[in-house]
A and B are shown apart, each in its own frame.
Chain A
Amino acid sequence: MAADMTQQNTATAEHIEYVTRLGDNALILGQRLSEWCGHAPVIEEDLALANIALDLVGQARLLLTHAGKLEGSGRDEDQMAFLRVERDYRNITMMEVPNEDFGRSTVRNFLFSTFQVLLWERLVQSSDRELAAIAAKSLKEARYHLNHSAEWVIRLGDGTAVSHDKTQAALYYLWPYTAELFAANPTDEAVSAAGIGPAWSELEAAWEAMVLPVLAEATLVVPARTPFKSYGKFGRHSEHMGHLLATMQYMQRTYPGASW
């Protein structure tokens, strides 16, 4: 408790923003993946995607609870998750785009869980002890998400003509959104200087070194980088975010404070 109090008093806006981005990435992808429950192509994958969604929502609960404590406003995980407005969400845009098909969901899980593994590996060393503890726990889970999605990327990409084309289309669609992960920004610089966590741009080389060999094995063409930019982590979201929030926030908006 004493450590928490100190943190509350000393947390910078950048620190809070950084933790909120982590929490919102997990929350929004968890919400998207939960849409597969009962709809996945085979029952094993229905279970797998639902379990990955649960892990992510669990991580989001820990991270958003922590962000709420850091800001010292008394907002709990539910208020953070369900009662903010669109512009206050800090997830990258790639988390909110629709699932489309199993191929796109799989490629997204692969691109993002690779990033998460690298980020959690670094955050285990965070000067923010609570964040370091969440990282150590989440890292174990992210490794399973990564293995699962990487296997499927190869299986689909190097599979039938149909699965290859769908997976390739997914990669073309999602690739431009990955640039946002590594875009430099003042929040990352401040957090990195304070020893709280790495600037995400520091992870780009390691991320490519993990992602590219799997895509090659999957016989997928890696798209060229384009000037396209997305800005979800700055609160400027795509048209899809409002629809997602309408579904996700429905209960708390309709019955404020509801619990069961």
Chain B
Amino acid sequence: MLTEAQAWTLLDTVPDPEVPVVSVVELGIIRELRCREDGLTVVVTPTYSGCPATEVIGLAIRDTLVAAGAGRVELETRLDPAWTSDWIGEAAREKLRAYGIVPPTGKAAVGGPQPIRFVKKTLTCPRCGSNDTERLSEFGSTACKATYRCKACLEPFEYFKPI
């Protein structure tokens, strides 16, 4: 059997399949680990309701822990509180930037009514550092990212949206 600390360390080696430079722990989707007599329960919160990676992540978590001798691994989904990009740690944000994805800026919006806003964010190109960038689309290769373009180096890049 594994200790809880060992399990956390192992899970920190499980990459997010869509953003493989950060681990599922760094992403903040592992909410709790509970050791049982015969194994381990992992409480996971999904990032987006329709995130196609959710099931792959579950499999990877299970495989990693079982291979390390965790016994019977059970996954539990927790919706409340809803996942927020605010849970992505500082070190992980730097890894994202180095990978070419601009990490979320500012805090995610909280509850309560909000007007429809068309705020154009100024993002810094993760490749060349220019601020002369423009948004191409609110959605990128996955729901969690938006697509931008740098007008200085002409490269496209992605932005991990605050949510």
Distance in angstroms between the alpha carbons of A219 and B52 in the assembled complex: 38
When A55-B49, A55-B143 are in contact, do A144 and B163 touch as well, CB less than 8 Å? yes
Residue from A58, A118, A143 within 8 A of B49 (CB atoms):
A58
A59 at the interface (CB under 8 A from B): yes
Which residue of chain A is the closest to B81 with respect to CB atoms? A136
Interface size class of B (residues with CB under 8 A): 20 to 34
Among A147-166, those with CB < 8 Å from B are 147-148, 150-151
Please state if A121 and B139 are interface contacts (CB–CB under 8 Å): no
A251 at the interface (CB under 8 A from B): no
When A51-B139, A147-B116 are in contact, do A140 and B82 touch as well, CB less than 8 Å? yes
A97 at the interface (CB under 8 A from B): no
B109 at the interface (CB under 8 A from A): yes
Among B127-163, those with CB < 8 Å from A are 136-143, 147, 161, 163
B112 at the interface (CB under 8 A from A): yes
When A55-B48, A121-B113, A140-B109 are in contact, do A148 and B138 touch as well, CB less than 8 Å? yes
When A136-B80, A143-B109, A146-B116 are in contact, do A59 and B137 touch as well, CB less than 8 Å? no
Distance in angstroms between the alpha carbons of A241 and B48 in the assembled complex: 28
Cβ–Cβ < 8 Å partners of A134 in chain B: 79
Cβ–Cβ < 8 Å partners of B139 in chain A: 44, 47-48, 51-52, 144, 148
Cβ–Cβ < 8 Å partners of A56 in chain B: 50
Which residue of chain A is the closest to B84 with respect to CB atoms? A140
B108 at the interface (CB under 8 A from A): yes
Please state if A45 and B116 are interface contacts (CB–CB under 8 Å): no
Which residue of chain A is the closest to B118 with respect to CB atoms? A151
A141 at the interface (CB under 8 A from B): yes
Cβ–Cβ < 8 Å partners of B81 in chain A: 136
Distance in angstroms between the alpha carbons of A148 and B142 in the assembled complex: 15
B107 at the interface (CB under 8 A from A): no
Cβ–Cβ < 8 Å partners of B111 in chain A: 121, 124, 136, 139
CB distance from B50 to the nearest CB of A (A): 3
Which residue of chain A is the closest to B77 with respect to CB atoms? A62
Which 4 pairs show the lowest CB-CB distances between chains A and B? A58-B50, A58-B49, A54-B50, A44-B137
